[in-house]
Amino acid sequence: MLYQMHELWRAGAAPLTYWAEAGAKMFSAPGSWLAGIPEASRIAAGCELLYRVGKDYEKPEFGLHAVEIDGQHCPVVEQEVARKPFCRLLRFKRYSDDAGNLRTLKGDPSVLVVAPLSGHHATLLRDTVRTLLRDHKVYVTDWLDARMVPAAEGAFSLDDYVAYIQDFIRHIGARELHVISVCQPTVPVLAAVSLMAARGETTPRSLVMMGGPIDTRQSPTAVNAMAMQKPLWWFESNLIQIVPANYPGRGRRVYPGFLQHAGFMAMNPERHFMSHWDFYQDLVKGDLEDAAAHRRFYDEYNAVLDMPARYYLDTVRIVFQQQLLPRGLWDVAGARVDPAAIRSYKGGGTALLTVEGELDDISGAGQTHAAHALCSGIAAADRQQLTVAGAGHYGIFSGRRWREQVYPQVRDFIAGHTA
């Protein structure tokens, strides 16, 4: 019922939102007589702030159309190379008119970036992908909004997530592939590769795991504490809703994006309030550069998707409440997950790099590095761990620290384990 009430409120607020957008333009547009009246800048700023608080935020575009490689401008084309009911596999293909440069591009390592299915869209990793494109052929998992998936497609569980990752690895080809998982997918990616190794399948050349909850018993954060304080039925009763009839997924049980967004905002309400106040002040002062930066950030931050209910509840139970992976008790589709089955050997097998942020308040210290103890079949020479000083959760895969501190080590690690 809550989802239906939210949709009614959203529909009722739409006229006010449209009015606010029009007001912001009328009181700020060059040549408009309204822009010349006293306090016009404050009226325009107030209208735009109201518009941005009330508007719908659609899924952003990756917008990656070119990359500069060795001083040459290379066009980039986004391609859908595989599709499943709940996910698209995208490739960002680079092109060049220079024959020598083209040969270099074709020889670059292939990287599969597994994006989180935890509220935000895969576009949150735009900076990650843009940086990787300099030296790699890049594939990305683009998870779909569950409200847009017809109920006839059935449920989606954490086991299904693991199966999706395995299918994508096989589709690309594991022999020369490197897999980078960011945050939540570190757990299902480790499970997927462990099961492939146990079956004797070829596994990726390397796993790069960044800021993920491999073992949430290590340095529990506020996120971990909440999962432990509430029983599973509480999450199902209070957070799971039914998709309304105005979406293709009508009738599907989901953890709605608007509830997730409310949770994100509640974690740091003062910071978000001050950010919006600063945005208002920037508009009044005419500081268009800072105002544009605010818009870019919140266009991404406020765009959230619905998660399938079964997948969300599986994650709460298996990853955060029972810690089945580090305890060696997790079964996927009837098979026990044993990361020790992943092997490395001279010139082959799978290597492991884990990355943590010193100030990460989502995945605590040691939670990602815990993968090393589990992956005992990987030789010590093929395992590395990196803790980024001064970096929070997002800093290890986006922004200056990612580009200047983390990426060079990730690039060199992948290059060192490429056949």
Top-confidence residue, 291 or 236: 236
Q: Please check whether residue 330 is in contact with residue 176, taking contact to mean a CB–CB distance below 8 angstroms.
A: no
Query: What pLDDT is recorded for position 226?
Result: 83
What is the Cα–Cα distance from 390 to 369, expressed in whole angstroms?
17
What is the DSSP code (8-state) at residue 378?
S
Q: Which domains does the chain have, with CATH numbers?
A: 2-56+270-301 (no CATH), 69-231+308-416 (3.40.50.1820)
Q: Where is pLDDT greater, at 353 or 3?
A: 353
The whole-number pLDDT of residue 58 equals: 85
The pTM score is 0.91
- The confidence score (pLDDT) of residue 287 equals 84
pLDDT at 263 over 80: no
Q: Would you say residue 7 has pLDDT above 80?
A: no
The residue assigned the tokens 């949770």 is 263
Which pLDDT score is estimated for 293? 87
Top pLDDT among 8 and 411 is at: 411
**Residue 259 clears pLDDT 90, i.e. is over it:** no
DSSP letters spanning 72-137:
EEEEEEEEEEEEETTEEEEEEEE--S-HHHHHHHHHSPEEEEE---SSB-GGGGHHHHHHHTTTSE
Instruction: Give the pLDDT band (50/70/90) at residue 18.
Output: confident
pLDDT at 315 over 90: yes
Place 161 in a pLDDT band, splitting at 50, 70 and 90: very high
pLDDT at 203: 96
- Average pLDDT, integer, range 301-329: 94
* Residue 179, H or E segment: strand 177-182
Confidence of residue 387 (pLDDT cuts 50, 70, 90): very high
Both tokens assigned to 306: 């619905």
Classify 173 in phi/psi space as left (phi over 0), alpha (psi -120 to 50) or beta.
left
pLDDT confidence of residue 286:
83
CA distance 245 to 315: 27
Confidence of residue 73 (pLDDT cuts 50, 70, 90): confident
C-alpha distances out from residue 200 to 98, 192, 193, 207, Å: 41, 13, 11, 17
Beta strands, E only, 186-313: 206-210, 241-242, 253-255, 307-308
Compute the mean pLDDT over every residue in the chain, rounded to the nearest whole number.
91
Say what the pLDDT of residue 270 is: 84
Task: Kindly give, in sequence order, each residue whose CB lies less than 8 Å from that of residue 138, ignoring residues fewer than 6 positions away.
Answer: 91, 92, 111, 113, 129, 132
Q: What is the dihedral of CA 143, 180, 112, 124, to 10 degrees?
A: 40
Contact 226, 338 (CB under 8 A): no
The residue type at 86: F
Assigned token pair, 345: 């050997």
The percent of residues in the chain predicted with pLDDT above 90, rounded, is: 62
User: What is the residue whose two structure tokens read 């490689």?
Assistant: 69
The pLDDT value given to residue 346: 76
The whole-number pLDDT of residue 206 equals: 96
**pLDDT 10s digits, 105-114:** 889 999 999 9
DSSP string covering 315-362, please? Answer: HIIIIIIS-TTTTT--EETTEE--GGG--EETTEE-EEEEEEETT-SS
pLDDT category of residue 224 using cuts at 50, 70 and 90: confident
Is the model's pLDDT at 75 over the cut of 90?
A: yes
Which amino acid, one-letter code, is at 47? C
Contact in structure between 261 and 119 (CB atoms under 8 Å): yes
Mean pLDDT on 7-24: 83
Residue indicated by tokens 């909440």 = 226
| 180: helix, strand or coil | strand
In angstroms, the Cα distances linking 351 to 134, 379, 387 are 22, 8, 18
- Kindly tell me if the per-residue pLDDT of 34 is higher than 90: no
Can you name the residues that pair with 142 across neighbouring β-strands?
Answer: 88
Task: Report residue 49's pLDDT band, with 50, 70 and 90 as the boundaries.
Answer: confident
